[in-house]
Amino acid sequence: MRKPTIYRKRFIPFETVDISGDELLLRTDDVLITRWKAIKPRNDISGGISYTFLKEGYKIGRFYDNDGKFIYWYCDIIDVEYNEKLDVLTLIDLLVDIKLMPDGTLLVLDADELAEALEKELITKEQAVSALRKLDHVLKTIYEGNFPPKICRKEEYWVL
């Protein structure tokens, strides 16, 4: 399995971070599964498992606390750019996110950041529309009881 270079690009704050150091667990044309530790030390999370759905445009994280206990699912709405020649993936955070707690509590986060990025022309209208459509798709999947996707339920990836 070939390991790509992976960048996470954000608009607020504006930054591009190389996350290629994350452990690659699975790579297909459709999904990328990685295991990671928090980039900066935190009291609330130690790391997690990320399932990046490359064609669908979202990344689902299974987050763990410092004792290695699962605490919540976190879904980033993203665009994916791929440079096949260099084997470089850039995951572009489209700001709006979903946090799903084990008890079913659902939070839509950072809609204000999406609005701010659109107002300040940090993102295009097309990117904002795409983010909202992807958000809608993931929310419908949750409401229908089909979240997380089947591959995220495979316990073989759950160990930190």
pLDDT at 38 over 90: no
- Name the domain count of the chain: 1
Report the CATH number at residue 69: 2.40.380.10
Residue 110 confidence (pLDDT) = 97
Tens-place pLDDT, residues 43-85:
889 999 999 999 999 999 999 999 989 999 999 999 999 999 9
Tens-place pLDDT, residues 87-121:
999 999 999 999 999 999 999 999 999 999 999 99
Residues 44 and 54: their CA atoms lie apart, in Å, by 28
The residue written with tokens 């939070």 in the block is: 107
pLDDT at 33 over 80: yes
- Candidates 61, 65, 134; CA nearest to 94 is 134
Mean pLDDT within 126-142? 97
* Whether the Cβ atoms of residue 64 and residue 70 lie closer than 8 Å to each other: yes
Tell me what the pLDDT averaged over the chain comes to.
94
Residues 47 and 13: their CA atoms lie apart, in Å, by 21
Mean pLDDT within 19-39? 94
Buried b (16+ CB within 10 A) or exposed e, 17-39: eebeebeeeebeeebbbbbbeee
pLDDT at 159 over 80: no
Mean pLDDT within 2-20? 95
Residue 160 confidence (pLDDT) = 61
Give DSSP secondary structure letters for 102-133.
Answer: TTS-EEEE-HHHHHHHHHTTSS-HHHHHHHHH
Structural domain range at position 106:
5-157
The beta strand positions in the chain, using DSSP E, are: 5-11, 14-18, 23-27, 31-37, 47-53, 58-64, 70-83, 88-100, 106-109
